[in-house]
Each structure stands twice: as structure tokens, then as C-alpha cells.
Amino acid sequence: MSYFFQLVVSGIVVGSIYALSGLGFVLIYKSSRVLNVAHGQIIASGCFITYALTVWAGIPIYISFVMSMVITFFLAMSVERIFLRRLIGEPIISVIMVTIGLMSIIDGIVYLTPFGSENYSFPEFFPQTPIEVGGVSVSWTQLVGVIITMVLIAGFSWFFKKSTVGISMRAVSDDQLAAMSIGVSVPRVFGLAWATAGLTAAAAGGIIGNITGLNFDILHSFGIIVFPVVILGGLDSILGAVVAGVLMGLIQQFASGYLDGNWGLNGTAEVLPYILLLIILLFKPHGLFGIHEIERV
Amino acid sequence: MSANRWLTTGNYFTSYQQEQRIFSTLLDRALFIVFILGLFLWPLLIKLSSRNMLVVDTILIAIVAVLGLNLLTGFAGLISIGHAAFVGVGAYTVASIIRFIGDDHMLITHAWPLVILFAGFVGAAFGAFVGLPSLRLRHLYLLMATLSFQIIFQWVINFSTFFNQGQTISVGRVFWFTGKIVRKQHYVFWYYAILVVIVLLGLGVRNILRTRYGRSLVAVRDNDRAADAMGMHPGLTKVYAFALAGFLAGIAGALHAYLYRGVGFESFTLHHSIVYLAMAIVGGMGTLNGSFWGPAAIQFLELRVENLAEKAGHYFPSNMNLSTALRPLTFGLVIVLFLMFEPRGIANWWRIVRSYVKLWPFRY
């Protein structure tokens, strides 16, 4: 039984990171209907910036964590400004392909830095001994990661519900023309959406980097796993991204805990989300919390 | 229409039939035939080293694959970032036949055209299956369907012993009427084989685009509701598009398996899907001759980049692999820059030059 609970705990840890990654993805999709394929690369760069600031520049982790969030905020904003601003009004298909190109570009830039070829890991900031509760152990890093994630998600929910900027972002996602007519600058909202997505990506990157170490392949794969997560949750629902993120973490942990090694299966955790994705696309494409787009084509 | 179409300006077509013709004048047809003959004859005159011949063959295979992707993304407006997986399905169809009957069985070595055709049909079946969500959904979601197919494909290949866990499965040498194709003739032989395939498929795709189905493909891309109102079935049209793209990709994969005499997992990764997409974009989405320009341009670029990386590699620390860094960087830049500044691709340059020549000395 404690094995089961151990899986649940690690599922929640992984899942909350998925939730945070999915949050950034949904932010961009919600406001500008762009699928950001390069999200994993932004997560990875956020993580690398945190590492560089912490270890190479010697800044305390909690300051560098915030600093990397700020840096990525402006980086993502300038990405939107340089590459995507001039594509407003173009068919959505070419905008998505620009993000595919961006993914390649960031890949190339990362391979130019030492992070592309070598693995690093953060120094331990928290006590090494894991917390044990009834045979279930969770490390301090994981616990702090989950807490930060929860705080960030709560903060963003508040931001969208109450603040003026958040409300104008929701307005744009609802109806661009109507939002424009009451004085919301749509391009600025797009920029802000990218920027906040970059911010959450950096936070996610920092947490992932502390838990799994800095391996570029692992880090940018979080941008791909985000797809099944957001589809499960519904593409345009922040609540959906959070719930589906945790669910997906649990599914993966149970898969690797119970399926691997039996019936000749291996590495099921890597593939199960995508099989699930195909099934959801076939039968319930708007996911758990997404808006039912009545669009039978 | 006896006047030279290259010198006249304006549109002199008097019937739809005339406009839909592939070759509107005898001169066009003659030029095309001369061009094809030239393609068949040049290997007899110029002897390329087998390394260069391999590059040419690789470009040709990429053309077959990109024809399919262009049909899907350019004409039907459905993004696929799993095209390499469909190519892989073709290659691994050959590989699984080999796993059953061995790599020097008659079927593999003598009946290889049938095997290639069969691989195409298997690719079509997989394409149609992955395209099934398009019965209900629009392109955004289809991107995810193709992505998940790519990942599932990689997983299946990597974890099943039947496929040798992604290690190379070798393919035997083929026979022609003249006997076994030996090492020296291999690349030239496959140049001809692939060229024949391309001519057939190119004409085939061109003809499909002229038919009712081809026009409904473009109609569904441009406005699916209007197409629906005109009596087309947008969902089925898209599923067919996926099947066609899968067919072309499957054939490309089988050719790949035969050309490289082996099937390995590393040729069909997500990175290759992006490369195919880059080829389609650079060539020009929604234009047929774009599918020919794109692979050539990207392959050329890749060679340049590798040369550059080799030369510049001395000035960088040795633990840094410059070519792994420069490759994605250039691909990404090429995709982004083309989409931003020349979304209609290289094929558009040809159009610009032609209209410039036609209209000279006037601007427009």
C-alpha cells in the first residue's frame, strides 16, 4: 500500500510541474490561439538562466529564481515582438510553424552553450534527508517545488480573475473585436501573454532543474508532454491545465510503477500520454474543462 | 493559343478545360520532355562519386516525402509534425517483411517494386488512421494527433525487439534484369528508380489536383464551411489527404530503406519531421514545384552548414559539437525567415522572374 501512496506522491510532484508548464501554454493559446510548440525550449532556457545565475554568478537561489523569471518574461516578450507581431492576421497555420522554427532556433542556441553538451545539477539547497510519513518519502526539493507551483498557480488565478490586465487578457481571448472596441490593445495583450507564459516557464524550469538535474533533452521534453496535458484539460482552460497536469503525472507514475516490466512492456510512461491524447482527440476533443466549440467539420 | 505563352501577357484561356491543362502548349510539353530526358541522361555523361550520388538520391527521396507533406500541409492546410514517422512506417514495413522472411528472400530482392508499393499502402492506412480525428476537428488539433503519432512510433520502434530496438535492420541488394545490383552501380541504379517514381508520382499528384477531389481539397483548406455548403465532405476530404500523404511518405520510406540498405530508428525522429516541414515551407506551400525546390535547397544548405561547422570547429572548444548546434539553428532561421518574408517560398521567386520577363520593360 505504501508503494501505491509513494506513486501518488511522486505523481503529484511531477503533475504539479506539468500543471505549471501547461499553464504557460494555455496562456498563449487562450489569448492568441497560437499553439506554442517551443514552450519546452523556453522552460529549458529558464532553467539554464537560473543555473547560470545561481552557480556561475553566485547569486542566492531565491533571488536568481525570481531574476530568471524576470529575464524570461522579457525574453518571451521580445520573441513575440520580433517574430510573431508581424504575423498577426496571417493564417494561424503559419504562426504555428513559426513557433516550430523558434523551437529549432532555441535548440541551436542551447547547443552553442555548455548546457547543450553537458549535464549539470543544482547544488542541494535543502536538507538532504527526505521527509518520511508512513513509509512514503518525499524530498525537500520536491516539497518546495510543489509549494511554489501551487502558490504560482493561485497567484495567476487571482491575476486573471481580479486584475485589470488579467481581465483584459480574458476579454481578448473571448472576443478580439469587442475587446478592441473598449480600448484594449490586442497586440499588447499578446505580448503580455507570451511574457507571462515565459515567466511561468522559467519557474517551471527552475523547479524541474532542481528535481531532475539540467539535461536539455529532459527539459525540453516537458514542452511536448504539455500537449497531452492541455488536451486532457481542455485547450483554453487554466483550471483544466492544472487538474490535467496532476492527473497526467499520476497516470505516468502508475504506468511506470505497475505496467513496466510486466507483459514485456517498458517505458510506458513516455508513450501512454500520447495514446491517451489520440483517444481524447477522437472522442472528447474539448477535454475535461474546455469550451465546447460547436464545430463539426 | 498558338501564340507563345511566354511572350504574351494576360490570360487568353477561353475554357476551363484549357486552363486546367498541365501543358498548355506543345512547346511546354516538349520542354518538359527534354527536361526529363536530361534528368535521365546526365548520369551517363557526368560520373559523380558515390558520395555525391548519395546526396542526389537523398534529395530525390526527400522530394517524394515532401510531395506528400505539401499535399497535406500546403493544399489541405493540415499541419503535420509527424511526417518522418509516416516515412518511417514505410521503411519499417520493409523491415518487418525482412524480419519475417530474411533480407535475401526473392520478395525483397526481386519483387522490390511491389514491396515499395505495399509500403505505400501501409503508410496510407496509418495516415488515414491518424487523420481520423479530422472528421471532427480542425488543424490545431491535428497537429497534436500527428505529434502523438510521431512519439508513439518512436516508442514502438525503440522498445520492441521485433524492430531490433531501433538498431539497423539490413536490407539485401536488389536484382534487376541485368542481374544483381552491385556496390558500384547501387546509387546510380537507385537514382533511376527514384526518378521514375518521382515522375510518376509528380504527374499523379498534379492530376489529382486537377480532379474534383483536388479542387475540394483546396476548397476545404480555404473555407471548410463554404465547402460543406457546396456539398463536399470536409472531414472525409481531410482523411483522404492524410491517406495520400501517408502513401507518398510510405513510398519514400521504402525507397529510403532500399537506398541505405538498412532501416534504423535515427532517420525518422521528430527532428526529421521538422526538416521535412522546413523543406515544404522553403519550397513553397501549396505549389507543386515547391516540393522539388525545397528539398534541394535544404539539403544544399545542410551540406554548406556541415562544411562551415567543420571549418569553424577549430576555433571552438573541442567538447562543443558545432554542427549539432548550427543545424537546428539554420533550420529554425530558414523556417522563420521564409515564413516572415517569403511565405510563398522559392516557387514564388520563379513566378516573380517569369512575370518580370513577361512584362519587361514595364513594371506591371
Which chain B residues contact residue A100 at CB under 8 A? 81, 274, 277, 335
Of A33, A100, A108, the CB nearest to B326: A108
Is the dihedral angle over the CA atoms A70, A106, A209, A48 positive or is it negative?
negative
Among A255, A248, A249, A280, smallest CA distance to A269 is for A255
**Nearest beta carbon to residue A97 from set B159, B235, B339:** B339
Is the separation of the CB atoms in B166 and B265 below 8 Å?
A: yes
pLDDT at A292: 65
pTM (2 d.p.): 0.86
**Residue B361, preceding peptide bond in cis (omega within 30° of 0):** yes
Average pLDDT over residues A141-155: 84
Band (pLDDT 50/70/90 cuts) for residue B1 is: very low
Contact at CB, B147 and A105, closer than 8 angstroms = no
| CB contacts, 8 Å: A33 with chain B | 140
CA distance A96 to A286: 19
Nearest CB to A282; choose among B133, B155, B159: B133
- Among A15-24, A139-148, A187-196, B161-170, where is mean pLDDT lowest? B161-170
| CA-based nearest distance B324→chain A, Å | 7
Chain centroid to CA A140 = 21
C-alpha span between B154 and A123 (Å, rounded)? 34
Q: Is B159 on the interface with A (CB under 8 A)?
A: yes
For residue B274, give the nearest of A104, A118, A270 by CB distance. Answer: A104
Q: Which residue of A has its CA nearest to B74?
A: A93
What would the pLDDT profile of B157-187 be if each residue is shown by its tens digit? Answer: 888 777 777 777 777 777 777 777 777 778 8
Query: Taking CB atoms and an 8 Å limit, are B141 and A281 in contact across chains?
Result: yes
The yes-or-no verdict on residue B319 having pLDDT over 70 is no
Residues of A in contact with B137 (CB under 8 A): 281, 285, 295, 297
Q: Is the pLDDT of residue A92 over 80?
A: no
Query: pLDDT digits over B9-20, tens only?
Result: 666 777 877 777
Contacts of A285 in chain B (CB under 8 A): 133, 136-137, 141
By Cβ distance, the residue of B79, B133, B332 closest to A105 is B332
Q: According to the model, what pLDDT value does residue B120 have? A: 92
Average pLDDT in chain B: 83
Q: Do B330 and A231 touch (CB under 8 A)?
A: no
Confidence of residue A297 (pLDDT cuts 50, 70, 90): very low
Give A90's contacts in chain B (Cβ within 8 Å): 343
Give the mean pLDDT of A175-204: 87
Instruction: Spell out the residues 6+ positions from residue A241 whose beta carbon is closer than 8 angstroms to its own.
Output: A19, A22, A23, A25, A26, A229, A230, A233
Which residues on A lie below 8 Å from B329 (Cβ)?
104-105, 107-109, 111-112
What is the percent of chain A with per-residue pLDDT over 70, rounded to a whole number? Answer: 95
User: Measured between CA atoms, how close is A67 to chain B, in angstroms?
Assistant: 26
Q: Provide the pLDDT for residue B125.
A: 94
Residue of B nearest to A79 (CA): B336
Q: pLDDT value at position B210?
A: 86
Closest-CA distance, A277 to chain B, in angstroms, reads 7
Residue B92 CB contacts under 8 Å (≥ 6 apart), including other chains:
B157, B163, B253, B263
Q: Bigger pLDDT: A282 or A199?
A: A199
Higher-scoring residue by pLDDT: A139, A292: A139
* ipTM rounded to 2 decimals: 0.84
Nearest to B252 by CA among B102, B40, B92, B128: B92
Which one, of A93, A40, A103, lies nearest residue B140 by Cα? A93
Q: Average pLDDT of B77-94?
A: 89
Among partner residues A83, A112, A285, which is closest to B336 by beta-carbon distance? A83
If you average pLDDT over residues A134-153, what whole number do you get?
Answer: 81
A297 and B159: CB-CB below 8 Å?
Answer: no
Query: A116 vs B325: CB contact, 8 Å cut-off?
Result: yes
In chain A, whose CA is at the least distance from the CA of B343? A94
Residue of chain B with shortest Cα separation from A282: B133
Q: Are the Cβ atoms of B159 and A103 closer than 8 angstroms?
A: no
Q: How far apart are CA A217 and CA B144, in angstroms?
A: 20
> Per residue in B189-216, pLDDT tens?
888 889 999 999 988 988 888 888 888 8
Contact B77 A274 (CB under 8 A): no
Which residues lie below 8 Å from residue B176, measured CB to CB, with a gap of 6+? B189
So what's the pLDDT on residue B9?
63
Q: Which of A26, A281, A282 to mutate to test the interface with B (most CBs of B within 10 A)?
A: A281
Chain A residues with CB-CB distance to B127 below 8 A: none
Mean pLDDT score, B87-93? 91
CA B218/CA B250 separation, integer angstroms:
23
Closest-CA residue to B323 (of B309, B307, B308, B302): B309
The pLDDT of residue B5: 58
Give contacts of A274 with chain B, Cβ < 8 Å. 147-149, 151-152, 155
What does the alpha-carbon distance between residue A117 and residue B216 come to, in Å, rounded to a whole number? 48
**pLDDT greater than 90 at residue B250:** yes
B228 CB neighbours in chain A (<8 A) are 297
Q: Do A96 and B140 touch (CB under 8 A)?
A: yes
Could you give the CA distance from residue B223 to residue A129 in angstroms, rounded to a whole number? 60
Mean pLDDT highest for which of B27-31, B175-179, B313-317? Answer: B27-31
Which B residues 262-321 touch A at CB under 8 Å?
Answer: 274, 277-278, 281, 319-321
- Cell reading at A297: 467539420
Q: What is the pLDDT of residues A212-230, one digit of tens each?
A: 778 888 888 888 888 888 8
Least confident piece of the model among B44-48, B246-250, B291-295: B44-48
Residue B85: band (very low, low, confident or very high) from pLDDT cuts 50, 70, 90: very high
pLDDT of residue B118: 92
**Smallest CA–CA distance from B133 into chain A, residue:** A282
Give the closest of B278, B324, B340 to A111, CB-based: B324
**What residue of B is the nearest CA neighbor of A226?**
B144
Contacts of B326 in chain A (CB under 8 A): 108
